[in-house]
């Protein structure tokens, strides 16, 4: 029997419909992080809605729904991103809130 031909050779590729195939290597997905906004008693609801629209690109209805969830339950997930993007979003939230004198806080949680 010729090398590479036959049943038990580990270098042999499986054939499907006459085409040599090999399993596709799955690429590891980078870890993702939730950007969480936390309720406070001082940041206006309108500011939170505008922030969700501008920073997280939420449509107005979804931004309002999420703001109400944050208000009622104490926190809400604004989005899920790769670490660097999530860190940038958190920094943007803090900068925008501080520029207006609001105590709005956000943070990261692993997905």
DSSP per residue, 15-29: EETTEE--PPPPPPP
Identify the CA nearest to 97 among candidates 41, 51, 36: 51
- Specify the pLDDT at position 84: 97
First-to-last C-alpha distance (Å) of the chain: 53
Contacts for 69 with CB less than 8 Å, ≥ 6 apart:
76
Domain ranges of the chain: 30-110
What's the rounded Cα separation, in Å, for the pair 50 and 44?
10
Tens of pLDDT along 46-71? 999 999 999 999 999 999 999 999 99
Q: Are 106 and 37 in contact (CB under 8 A)?
A: yes
Tens of pLDDT along 82-95? 999 999 999 999 99
Q: What is the DSSP letter of 74?
A: S
Which CATH architecture does the domain made up of 30-110 adopt?
Answer: 2-Layer Sandwich (3.30)
Tokens 């629209």 belong to which residue?
53
- Cut 0.95: pTM above it: no
What's the rounded Cα separation, in Å, for the pair 29 and 21?
24
């Amino acid at each position: 029997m010729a090398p590479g031909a036959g049943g038990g050779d580990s270098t042999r590729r499986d054939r499907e419909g006459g085409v040599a195939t090999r399993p596709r290597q799955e690429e590891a997905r980078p870890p993702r992080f939730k950007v969480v906004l936390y309720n406070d008693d001082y940041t206006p609801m309108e500011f939170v809605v505008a922030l969700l629209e501008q920073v997280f690109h939420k449509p107005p209805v979804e931004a309002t729904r999420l703001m109400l969830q944050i208000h009622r339950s104490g926190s809400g997930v604004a989005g899920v991103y790769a670490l660097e993007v999530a860190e940038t979003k958190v920094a943007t939230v803090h900068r925008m809130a501080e520029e207006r004198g609001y105590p709005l806080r956000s943070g990261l949680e692993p997905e």
